[in-house]
Amino acid sequence: MPQQLCGAAIEINQFDCSWNIYSKDTWIVKDKSDPRIVREENIVQAKAIAGTIDILSDNADVGKILCMCNPDSILDIEQKLKEKFSSLSIVKSSNILLEIMQDGVTKGNAVKELCEMWDISLSNTIAFGDHYNDVEMLETVAMPFLMGNAPEELKSRFPNVTENNDEEGIYNGLAKIGLIPKI
């Protein structure tokens, strides 16, 4: 994502959320003391650095911006960001997370590129997803599975629903279609 556009996206962000910029192994945040950032550092066992887009070199690639939002205002934040930045891919990935990426950057496109690179037919693909950021991937593969913890709206869109990600959902999905033995 162009750094100038990334900078504009975080500048307009006057919402109840904490932004995160990811550039390869660099994780930049505005406020390291924000409880959402502290929690994420503990989960991923990595440390963010405080700063802005300006600390990156001019030729550094920005992979995405992740906004950790108040769940009561995430839909409003998503709508306003989409209105202002129609040239970016903006997708909700949980009830508190918005991912902002270059237009066309989706899990569905990644599946297509990998299949092309590895000479695999899309008719031989399976994917498991649990939120809106997985929709394009699930629409791309031949055998989409939704995890049991997915939003109800998505469960009505995809027929294969397996257990949640804490209850062996992937194992059970693969066993259901006979790719691995059911134990």
CB burial class (10 A; 0-12, 13-18, 19+) of residue 71?
Answer: exposed
Last residue of a domain, one of 71, 102, 133: 102
Proportion of the chain above pLDDT 90, given as a percent: 51
User: pLDDT by residue (tens digit) across 45-69?
Assistant: 999 999 988 888 888 888 899 999 8
Is 157 strand, coil or helix? helix
Which tokens sit at 108? Answer: 């569905």
* Residue numbers of the domain that contains 55: 3-102
Predicted confidence (pLDDT) at residue 160 exceeds the cutoff of 90: yes
pLDDT for 14: 64
Q: 68-116: per-residue pLDDT in tens?
A: 988 998 898 889 889 988 888 999 988 899 999 988 888 999 999 999 9
CA dihedral sign of residues 143, 103, 110, 49: negative
CATH number at residue 127: 3.40.50.1000
Give me the residue label for tokens 């991937």. Answer: 137
Question: What is the number of other CB atoms lying within 10 angstroms of the CB of residue 17?
Answer: 21
Q: Is the dihedral of CA 51, 53, 54, 57 positive or negative?
A: positive
How far apart are alpha carbons 74 and 79 in whole angstroms?
A: 9
- Using DSSP's 3-state secondary structure scheme, residue 7 falls into helix
25 domain-assigned: yes
Is 181 within a domain? no
Sign of the CA dihedral with 98 first, then 103, 108, and 109 last: negative
What's the confidence (pLDDT) of residue 13? Answer: 57
